Amino acid sequence: MENTHYISSALLSLDTLQEIISEHKSIALSDEARINIQKCREYLDKKMATNDDPIYGINTGFGSLCNVKISNENLSQLQENLVKSHACGTGEEVPQEIVKIMLLLKIQSLSYGHSGVQLVTVQRLVDFYNNDILPVIYNQGSLGASGDLAPLAHLSLPLLGEGEVNYEGFRQPARKVLDKMGWEPIVMQSKEGLALLNGTQFMSAYGSYILLKAMKYSYLADVIAAISLEGFDGRIEPFDELIHFVRPHKGQIVTAQHMKELLEDSQIIAQPKQHVQDPYSFRCIPQVHGASKDTIEYVKKVFKTEINSVTDNPNIFIESDVIISGGNFHGQPLALALDFLGIALAELGSISERRTYQLISGLRGLPAFLVDNPGLNSGFMIPQYTAASIASQNKQLATPASVDSIVSSNGQEDHVSMGANAATKCLRIMDNVERILAIELMNASQAIEYRRPLQSSEFIEMFLKSYREEVPLVKEDRILHYDIEKSVVFLNSFLIDLED
């Protein structure tokens, strides 16, 4: 089927993930995935029938209860109890877009045939995804080690007919939706609950979602900065490739090249300048935006590896005839990457707010606060306050979560990543940057009007024309909250090609 993505061993890239999401593709298990899942389950069933030795999480308790042996007749109840007891999430609901990515990534991880789940279990997750039956999950409760236990327990509850789901626009009991679809609850077999709950899909889904936005807003940060530079009557020399080739960080070179392309054939940038230098927030755009681009590239590599990995425990290796208990659920790689990404995004917001401040300061022939009759009109005075407040909050949110650890499970789980906290606050930073850039766009688009009749580049003029259809020029004071919100919507609607 043309609009179906088949889950297989082929690498899942962020570009493919974006395509699946944006094109609303359904998913299906490939023949390869189905065989892998079935072979692993058959191997585990045979192993359990012929082996009385304790195997962690399969016929033992969990965490610090790992030495408690469970009888064979209670193995199904053991897994069901695990899912129910671990559903201890609290806080805000995870956005449904991220829940859907969690489902996809959990299916991908289980499809490799190292987890021991039933085919019917994975197929039910596929059915949830394709029918937009999205489990209600909460954003607090995971330590980011032993996997995202609490969030993944809430993801798994509807398999048992427990918990709640969002379906057809309503939050409702999962059992009610299963009845409507004519589905019986899954009867869990040995290890299945642990396979579902161990894993990094909460952190991975958040990170993937943020990265897709970060790549877009890294591009838009350049576009908006170019408009600000034009409004501030800035100089083109800081973007000359000669400067950047003698300090050849990739992101710096790419940003400088992008800025020159954005400003190509601009009458404003070409006019003679009375000032010798621009402030750092303009002159150092390649260095600051570029460093954030390089960070995004690093984080993309980490997450590309993670979303193509097996992250539950224990892992089953049929060819080697072993079941190994290890620590692939530990979120340390993601925690560090998410903290790094949060810092890089916060810096995009920080330098953006500084450009906004320069634009309203009455410099270079611009009126104070970018409005006629300043005094009678406050103009763009207060949006800068808002941007400054948000930028300051981002500095607080950018404090790393990964440097913390709290002992859990009676000392058995004595070092945890806190990657889930890194993930949720990184999303908050990303949303904040979106608003800071929206405010800069409001100011930059206003400032550039004071350079008329000179024209900017063809691209920038087209961009501004589209923006002005949503947010008119400010001629006298009005409620600017609505302009900020419309600017956010405008930026969200802007489509760019993402290269993975």
- pLDDT (tens digit, 9 = 90+) per residue, 433-476? 999 999 999 999 999 999 999 999 999 999 999 999 999 999 99
**Quick one: pLDDT at residue 139?**
98
- Are 92 and 151 in contact by the 8 Å Cβ rule? The answer is no
Tell me the CA end-to-end span of the chain in Å, nearest whole number: 24
Flag the least confident range among 312-316, 412-416, 487-491: 412-416
- pLDDT (tens digit, 9 = 90+) per residue, 335-354? 999 999 999 999 999 999 99
- Are 150 and 139 in contact by the 8 Å Cβ rule? The answer is no
Among 489, 437, 487, smallest CA distance to 224 is for 437
Among 340, 309, 339, 303, smallest CA distance to 327 is for 309
Domains of the chain by range and CATH? 4-199 (1.10.275.10), 206-493 (1.20.200.10)
- Are 244 and 375 in contact by the 8 Å Cβ rule? The answer is no
Rounded to 5 degrees, φ, ψ at 414 are -95, -5
Residue in this structure with the two tokens 């993505």, named with its chain if needed: 5
Catalytic annotation present for 56: yes
Mean pLDDT of the chain: 94
The better pLDDT of the pair 157, 406 is held by 157
Rounded to 5 degrees, φ, ψ at 6 are -95, 125
- pLDDT (tens digit, 9 = 90+) per residue, 289-313? 999 999 999 999 999 999 999 999 9
Catalytic residue among 43, 56, 112, 209: 56
- pLDDT-based confidence at residue 67 (cuts at 50, 70, 90): low
- pLDDT (tens digit, 9 = 90+) per residue, 74-116? 778 888 999 999 999 999 999 999 999 999 999 999 999 999 9
Q: Which residues contact 103 (CB under 8 A, 6 or more apart)?
A: 125, 128, 129, 134, 135, 155
Helices and strands of the chain, counted as H and E runs: 19, 9
